[in-house]
Amino acid sequence: MASDRKYVCDVAVIGGGISGLVAAVRCAQGGLRVLVLERQSGERYLCNSRLSAGVWHICASDVLEAPAVLESKILAATGGEADPALAWMVAHEAARVIDWLRTLGVRFMKGPYAYQRFVMAPPAVSPQGAAWEGRGPDVALQMLEEALNGLGGSLLRGHRATGLETRQEGIGGLRGLTQSSEPFEVRAGNVIIADGGFQSDPGLVREWIAPDPGRVLARNSRASSGDGLRMAQEAGGAASDLRGFYGHLLSKDAAWNEALSPYPYLDYLATAGVVVDAAGKRIADEGLGGVFLANRIAARSGPGDHFVVTDQRIWEECGTFRMTSPNPLLARLGATMYQADSIEAVAGLAGIDASGLASTVAAYNRAVANGSTAGLDPERSADKYKPWPLAVPPYHVFPVLPGITYTMGGIAIDAHARVVTGTGTPVAHLYAVGCASGGLEGGTRHGYVGGLVKSGVTGLRAAEHILGIPA
């Protein structure tokens, strides 16, 4: 359909989250005319960046650790499946992105843990539900937009990109629809995809993440539905391994009780106790962490429920870890939780097969006592999260569902954030940044590297490649 809305620019950016705005501002600093298209229309549209806790880390480590150490942590977290070039780029560039954001006035402060050296200020984590207004990430996005405007660029709200325009020399622009369904076209020298991933597209989630997307809770802004991935693939770009998401275990009641998402999550209970299905059987290695467990639950087919089981000691110690701790928030916020003085009794209350759970817990406790949890089926590793015995009544059971924050896989890119084909050849003038891009995180261990650091580094790299600044 012909469009009356036509724009011309040097760089068009699809998505106004942190990755898109970093790329846009950096391009504008280099004197390029930049247009950011953002599908949502609100002044402070809700993207994952605005909802973020604002902690800049790499694999839950301080970004100022030696780059070689950070690189090896990324490879270890992903079971060696991260693209080494992307691991190198993130490990070496993270600190520079933070310095660059500071030059724009973005403020950071220290958090209570060593890996939280750079937390966007004022801090955003709230003990319950989402509280983002006026917090660090919200303020930073406003600053980036102001900087963009000051450099002559602009952010068009209510403009959803739907397709790329290809010219002889490569990608030459895009087309889309406004919120009132009017078509628009952008002629651009380069296009940067920054749409945040595909977590809100049930079809893609069903194909790659969970056979039943209805049993995965949205722990995100619900604004990223894989438009960028589809557009890149239509233009010849490849996808990375698309399995895997960053997310956490949430109370099942978060499906209807908004106060239970994005916090408190139950990861520190799950990684101390056991995670079972309705038959009372363990379903995965709890020692690989909450992100891994959320992925394993999501990937299981069938309608059955899943449960975290702990004893009183875990509830009192691991349950109170961090300000968003499940103890006492779950009870205060009305989450379903069962408690009884025996495993059989608590299983009965929760609707778990009582003899199944009793024999699981007995075998688990024996293995914990003699240090042989690696021999359990499934294996229970002990190097990252110590297995605690389930021995002190009352016992607790929490029905859980996986909550998806963002998809870890995405558009295949190289170390300049250029979109590449299946053979690694760049698609000319097309870039993908932030959670639209893949290849850094995930793998069979669902390794989480860090959404902000990935977004900042890829955003900066894409812009500097367009500007001809060497890596």
Ligand X SMILES: Cc1cc2nc3c(=O)[nH]c(=O)nc-3n(C[C@H](O)[C@H](O)[C@H](O)COP(=O)(O)OP(=O)(O)OC[C@H]3O[C@@H](n4cnc5c(N)ncnc54)[C@H](O)[C@@H]3O)c2cc1C
Which residues of this chain interact with ligand X, rule CB under 6 A?
Answer: 14-20, 37-40, 45, 47-49, 51-55, 160-161, 194-196, 220-221, 223-224, 227, 262, 405-406, 434-435, 450-453, 455
User: Taking the CB of residue 297, how many other CB atoms lie within 10 A of it?
Assistant: 23
- Euclidean distance between CA atoms 245 and 404, whole angstroms: 6
Nearer to ligand X by Cβ, of 287 and 403: the residue is: 403
Nearer to ligand X among residue 47 and residue 462 (C-beta) = 47
Report CA 51 to chain centroid distance, whole Å: 11
Shortest spacing between CB 375 and ligand X, in angstroms: 36
Nearer to ligand X, 60 or 467 (CB): 60
- Least distance from C-beta 24 to ligand X, angstroms? 11
Measuring CA to CA, which residue among 363, 127, 337, 165 is closest to residue 251?
337
Nearest distance, CB of residue 275 and ligand X, angstroms: 22
Task: Indicate the residue among 50 and 429 with the shorter CB distance to ligand X.
Answer: 50
Residue matched to tokens 């539900």: 129
Instruction: State which amino acid sits at residue 449.
Output: V
Q: How far is the CB of 247 from ligand X (least distance, A)?
A: 9
CB of 191 to ligand X, least distance (A): 11
Q: How far is the CB of 169 from ligand X (least distance, A)?
A: 23
Quick one: 130 or 345, whose CB is closer to ligand X? 130
In the bound complex, what is the minimum distance in angstroms from residue 458's beta carbon to ligand X? Answer: 8
Residue 21 CB, shortest distance to ligand X, in Å, is 8
> Judged by CB, which is closer to ligand X: 175, or 282?
175
Residue 100 amino acid letter: W
Of 44 and 281, CB closest to ligand X? 44
Closer to ligand X by Cβ: residue 61 or 455: 455
| Of 186 and 357, CB closest to ligand X | 186
Smallest gap from Cβ 344 to ligand X, in A, equals 37
Structure tokens at 186: 């952008």
Least gap, CB of 124 to ligand X (angstroms): 8
Alpha-carbon gap, residue 141 to 99, rounded angstroms: 16
Q: How far is CA 290 from CA 29, 51, 253, in A?
A: 40, 20, 18
Residue 191, amino acid: V
Phi, psi of 426 (to 5 degrees): -65, 140
CB nearer to ligand X: pick between 143 and 363: 143
Tell me the C-alpha distance between 429 and 228, whole Å.
15
CB 175 to ligand X: min, Å: 11
Q: Could you tell me the smallest distance in angstroms from the CB atom of residue 194 to ligand X?
A: 5
Residue with smaller CB distance to ligand X, 190 or 455: 455
- Whichever of 280 and 450 has its CB closer to ligand X, that residue is 450
What count of other Cβ atoms lies within 10 Å of the Cβ of residue 389? 17
Partners of 328 in the beta sheet?
A: none
Identify the CA nearest to 179 among candidates 201, 157, 154: 157
